[in-house]
Amino acid sequence: MSVESVRHAVQLIDDTPEAPFSVHLTGPLTRSRRSLKHNDTFVILDEHGDIGASVGSADGLFQSDTRFLSRLELLINGVQPLLLASNLSDDNFLLTVDLTNPDIVVDGHIVFQKDMIHIVRSIFIWNQTIHQRVGVRNHSVLPVMFDFSVKFDSDFVDLFEVRGAVRKKRGFFESKIVDSKNLRYLYRGLDDVIRKTTMHFEPQPAALDANRASYLVELPAGADFSFFITANCDSNSASKAQPFTRTLLSARREMQASRAGAASIVTTNEIFNEMLCRGAADLNMLTTDTPQGPYPYAGIPWFSTTFGRDGIITALQMLWLAPEIARGVLRRLAAYQAVTDDPDSDAQPGKILHEMRGGEMASLREIPFGLYYGSVDSTPLFVLLAGLYFERTGDHETIKELWPAIDAALKWIDGPGDVDRDGFVEYRRLTADGLANKGWKDSYDAIFHEDGRLAEGDIALVEVQGYVFAAKRLAARCARRMGFIDQARALEADVEKLAEKFEATFWCPEIGTYALALDGDKNPCRVRSSNAGQALFSGVVKKERAGDVAKALLGANSFSGWGIRTIAKGEVRYNPMSYHDGSVWPHDNALIALGFSRYGLKGPALRVFGGLFAAATYMDLRRLPELFCGFQRQRQRGPTLYPVACAPQAWASAVPFALLAASLGFEFDSERMEVRLRNPQLPPFLDEVTIKSLRLKNAEADISIRRGSTDDVAVEVIRSSGTVTFSIVPPV
């Protein structure tokens, strides 16, 4: 995803200005991290199940961009237990950690040998509360006595403070022991909002103070003991602790009920199945119930909130399989569409939201991201998604509801979005606190000329013109179906003009692909970039140019073996360790693969698919991260990770599903109730794919796609309800 405010974890040139709101890596991560989330609450823990026990500044229990718990550490006789295993359930709901005791030494002598006490921590989040059960069993042949202590703390810092921002002043903090089982932290912010963390322990600990609870445990041989901890993030009411098991079962039932009937995929490759399982679980975890419908929050830890671009692209990738995500995204973004001019938040009438924040710093406008509209692409992408959603579902009522927002977005594209009225959508920085670049590559140095000079003035990105092209073409189809014939004709005329001007202006024969952007003087940035591949996704590229673009993207300078680099090797600012100037972004590659498929380039699409699949085989939990470094693939070595990449990240989690759609070529015709597979092909590592509960309007089917004796595939309908037909069609 575009991480908008992140620039570089490490500045490579001494005189480079530090970017505002960047993410600072404060030291090596001595333990790997795990994340859990439910709606607006998430937690970052280490593999021991601790918060704040080892280096890693993102640790904490967070609610609405505020850290409600900064430490939660388990000790046995004052020392850290030894890790046996740390397992996140396949559905991302429960973290289970197995620990044991180290040697207990007194006066230089071992008084209790290691590996005698088995400790199991079970942790989940539900309804603004983290729940934890600590189970203990004595496996020695003798009775034992030891002290379990839990250290905890809260700081109520804003997420942007966790990321490195320094504040001159903060609000009022206090802690209070409510009774023998409960403790409360309270913070009154400078925004006059009271935030509370309530800790509850069951049974009553032997001792409880402001930062520590202790249990003196005596266990006969073979005996066990459990205690329970909850921490509730609640600004409005007192916490009511519920029994662990009852809450766990109830939460699991509610979660499973919300996923009932969802489409699912299984293949003949177990590793790819693990990728799909983790991707689906991550998307389910990141998706938050909002008043407008389900919305995939961008990523943990830095972007667990509503992001326009990220939500739209995630929905685009999942549209063929789960169109309900797109409906929630469209309705929420329409609800927050800008209606006034506000330079501080980059708002203009009709513009679609870039980012929403709910913390103290946003409330006080110490950061500009409370409701922030500083992206140039969210608005055309919104219209594009609405058009594709209508084609996928035929949901006339939703499009009718959204049409005023679609119309306002189109007016922004032709009005404030086109600063100089040349037919291209441009952006410029409006305030010092806002983003310098407003496309998905929003690092300060992401848009530059072939000599390394940064682009200045009103910048027109290549992929954004493609988004506008697709948005207007799809909006014209919607307008025709809704009876707005004059508007449809005007949009169709705009599409033809834009395609001609795009080709004449952006094509650069000297680099064999399209320019990265135009600067304020309309000079092209003749830089080989992945952005040109996203122009394929939108369909703005002339058919005879598609092969040239693919050749450039899959050449040795652009394709690392794991994926297509954001910037090609050999360009002046190429840096494989950078955020946007040579790294590999899975979602970017997925959109490019969909673009290849659009133009019938299935071989290139499958090559991208294969590279990202190979990368995921090396990733923790088979989870594709937000990005990884662009170093060339080498034998018997995995890809190099990027140090502060979000994982899970919504649009990276959706990548396996988008790549499968690119290879199989799904097309949905809701008017004719047809599902077509355009020149479907399977990558070498898949022999069969089974898709269950694939829906089109009120019809549903289970289908199997199998490789034949050659590279051809066959489609079999295993089960169907309602009237829907499936067919294989040749390339366009």
pLDDT score for 57: 65
pLDDT score for 246: 92
DSSP 640-678: PBPTT--SSBHHHHTHHHHHHHHHHTEEEETTTTEEEEE
Report residue 729: phi and psi, to 5°. Answer: -125, 150
Alpha-carbon gap, residue 460 to 382, rounded angstroms:
18
pLDDT score for 235: 52
Q: Give Cβ neighbours of residue 117 (< 8 Å, ≥ 6 apart).
A: 76, 100, 101, 136, 137, 138, 139, 140, 144, 146
pLDDT score for 164: 87
pLDDT score for 68: 97
Alpha-carbon gap, residue 297 to 3, rounded angstroms:
12
Cβ atoms within 10 A of the Cβ of 44, count? 22
Q: Tell whether the model's pLDDT for residue 624 goes beyond 60.
A: yes
Is 234 or 345 the better-scoring residue by pLDDT? 345
Q: Tell whether the model's pLDDT for residue 391 goes beyond 90.
A: yes
pLDDT score for 431: 80
Q: Tell whether the model's pLDDT for residue 330 goes beyond 60.
A: yes
The answer to whether 183 touches 210, Cβ cutoff 8 Å, is yes
**Closest by CA position to 138, among listed 121, 118, 113, 120:** 118
Tell me the pLDDT band of 367, cut-offs 50, 70 and 90: confident
Q: 254-270, pLDDT tens digit by residue?
A: 988 888 778 999 999 99
The segment with the largest mean pLDDT, out of 235-249, 432-446, 522-536, is: 522-536
Least confident of 4-18, 25-39, 239-253: 4-18
Mean pLDDT in residue range 149-165: 94
Mean pLDDT in residue range 447-475: 97
Mean pLDDT in residue range 527-533: 98
DSSP 360-382: HHHHTTSSS-SEE---SSHHHHH
Handedness of CA 397, 398, 403, 404 (dihedral sign): positive
Return the structure tokens found at 128.
């603004």
Mean pLDDT in residue range 538-558: 97
Tell me the pLDDT band of 13, cut-offs 50, 70 and 90: very low
Percent of the chain with pLDDT over 70: 95
Widest pairwise Cα distance in the chain:
90
Report in angstroms the alpha-carbon separations of 364 from 367, 371, 450. 8, 12, 41
Reduced to 3 states (helix: H, G, I; strand: E, B; else coil), residue 55 is coil
Tell me the pLDDT band of 28, cut-offs 50, 70 and 90: very low
Alpha-carbon gap, residue 55 to 46, rounded angstroms:
10
Q: 714-727, pLDDT tens digit by residue?
A: 999 999 998 999 99
Mean pLDDT in residue range 215-222: 94
Q: 83-118, pLDDT tens digit by residue?
A: 999 999 999 999 999 999 998 887 888 877 889 999
Q: Tell whether the model's pLDDT for residue 9 goes beyond 90.
A: no
Per CATH, the number for 261-664 is: 1.50.10.10
Q: 642-695, pLDDT tens digit by residue?
A: 988 999 999 999 999 999 999 999 999 999 999 999 999 999 999 999 999 999
Report residue 656: phi and psi, to 5°. Answer: -55, -35
Alpha-carbon gap, residue 323 to 326, rounded angstroms:
5
Handedness of CA 240, 246, 247, 251 (dihedral sign): negative
pLDDT score for 567: 98
Alpha-carbon gap, residue 562 to 196, rounded angstroms:
45
pLDDT score for 29: 47
pLDDT score for 55: 67
Terminal alpha carbon distance of the chain:
30
Cβ atoms within 10 A of the Cβ of 194, count? 12
The answer to whether 285 touches 160, Cβ cutoff 8 Å, is no
Tell me the pLDDT band of 709, cut-offs 50, 70 and 90: confident
Return the structure tokens found at 583.
């790294």
The answer to whether 697 touches 394, Cβ cutoff 8 Å, is yes
Mean pLDDT in residue range 195-206: 96
Alpha-carbon gap, residue 563 to 607, rounded angstroms:
9
Q: Tell whether the model's pLDDT for residue 27 goes beyond 60.
A: no
Q: Tell whether the model's pLDDT for residue 14 goes beyond 50.
A: no
Alpha-carbon gap, residue 190 to 194, rounded angstroms:
10
Tell me what the pLDDT averaged over the chain comes to. 92
β-pairing verdict for 293-296 and 287-290: antiparallel
CA 651 to chain centre: 5
pLDDT score for 368: 85
Mean pLDDT in residue range 431-447: 91
pLDDT score for 17: 46
Q: Tell whether the model's pLDDT for residue 18 goes beyond 60.
A: no
pLDDT score for 21: 52
- 661-675 in b/e form (b: 16+ CB < 10 A) is bbbbbbbbebeebeb
Mean pLDDT in residue range 182-206: 96
pLDDT score for 6: 29
Q: Domain ranges for the chain, please list them.
A: 33-256, 261-664, 675-729
pLDDT score for 216: 94
Tell me the pLDDT band of 434, cut-offs 50, 70 and 90: confident
Return the structure tokens found at 486.
């004059």
Top CATH class of 33-256 equals mainly beta
Alpha-carbon gap, residue 487 to 495, rounded angstroms:
12
Percent of the chain with pLDDT over 90: 84
